[in-house]
Chain A
Amino acid sequence: MPDLITDEIRNWIGRSTEPVQVEISRRDIIKYALATEQRLEKYLRGDEAPPMFLFGADRPLTQIADLGPDGLMRDPLLPELPLKRVMAGGIKQRYFRAVVPGDVLSISRRISNIYEKQGSSGPLIFVDYELNVRAADGELVMQETQSRINR
C-alpha cells in the first residue's frame, strides 16, 4: 500500500487556528432542537443547548463564491490531501457544563493526528481534531475529539 501521508502532510499535526468566538442565542438553539426533533422541553424552549449543538459552530464562514464543487468551504486547518471525498468519522465529547443562551464561547481547534487506514473500498485518510470550548471567563465548557475521513 503506498504511503499517502507525506512529510508535508505530517507537518500539519499540532497546528491550530485562532479561537472562534460564538455567541449563543435562544433562537439558534430552538432551530437546532427542531431540526434534530428533540423532545425535551428545555431544548425546545431554548433554555439549554443539546449536547451536539456546537457541531460545526466554529466552521469558517465564507462567501458562496468561495465554496468548492462539493459545496464545502475550504478548511484552512487541513493540508492538501490526495483523497478528496469527505465523510464524517466520529466524535468524542466531554461536557463540563451546559451551553445556555447568552454564552459567548471561544472554540479553538488543533490537528492532533493524521493517519491512514485501509477501508473496505480503498484507503482512507483520518484527520483528528481536538477542540476546546471555553466560556468568556475561561471556564472549560466542553472538550471534543473529532475525526474527518477522506476517501
Chain B
Amino acid sequence: MTTKRLDVQVGESLPERIHRASNVSLFLYNAAVWNSHRIHYDETYTTEVEKHPGVVIDGPLQGDWLTQTVLEWLGDDGRMVEFQYSNRLAAYLGEVLTAGGIVSSIEGNVATIDVFIRNEAGQVITPGSAVVHFSS
C-alpha cells in the first residue's frame, strides 16, 4: 500500500462536506466552548440590536470544520502542524455551507492545503490554509 505522500498531487481536491448548522448544534457548540454571546441563540436580539439578518454561525466553528476537511483526508498518513483561517463574511442559521480544500503545494514530505467554507451563493466566506507533514 502506498502512502498519501506518494500519491498526492498539487491541484488535488479534498472531499467536500456539507454542513447544516441548526439551533441545537449551535447551542451545543457554544455551550462546549462556554460562549454566551447572544448572536448565536437569541434571534430577536441578534436582528434588532446587532443588526444581523439572523442567528450567526460561529466563525471558529467554521474554522473547526476546515480542520476536519484536512484531517479526514490526511487520515493516519501524517499530521497537521499549522492551520489558519479568517472569517471574511458572516453566515446565518439556515444557510447550507460547504467545506473543501485543494492541495496548493508539495515540497518533500510537506504539503500546503488551501481550504474554504463556501456559501450557497458560491462565495468563499472563510478561507484558510493548513500545513501537513506526511509520515516518512
Contact = CB atoms under 8 A, between A and B. Distances in A.
B80 A51 contact: yes
Contacts of A50: 64, 67-68, 71
Contact-residue size bin, chain A (C-beta under 8 Å from the other chain): 35 or more
Given A52-B67, A55-B60, A88-B59, A37 B34 contact: no
B38 A88 contact: no
B14 to A, nearest CB: 14
Contact of B63 (A35, A59, A69, A91): A91
Interface stretch (A12-20, A92-100, A106-114): A92-100
A39 B85 contact: no
Contact of A93 (B32, B68, B84): B84
A148 to B, nearest CB: 10
A28 B63 CA distance: 19
B3 to A, nearest CB: 18
Contact of B72 (A39, A56, A57, A61): A39
B31 A91 contact: no
Interface string A82-94: 0001111111111
B109 interface: no
A71 B67 contact: no
A88 B86 CA distance: 9
Contacts of A5: none
A39 B36 CA distance: 26
Contacts of B19: 37
A82 to B, nearest CB: 17
A72 B34 contact: no
Contact of B50 (A31, A35, A85, A91): A85
Contacts of A88: 58-60, 87
A73 B25 CA distance: 22
Interface in B10-62: 19, 25, 28-29, 31-39, 42, 45, 49-50, 58-61
A78 interface: no
A35 B32 contact: yes
B121 interface: no
Interface of A: 28, 31-32, 34-40, 50-52, 55-57, 59, 61, 67, 69-73, 85-95, 147
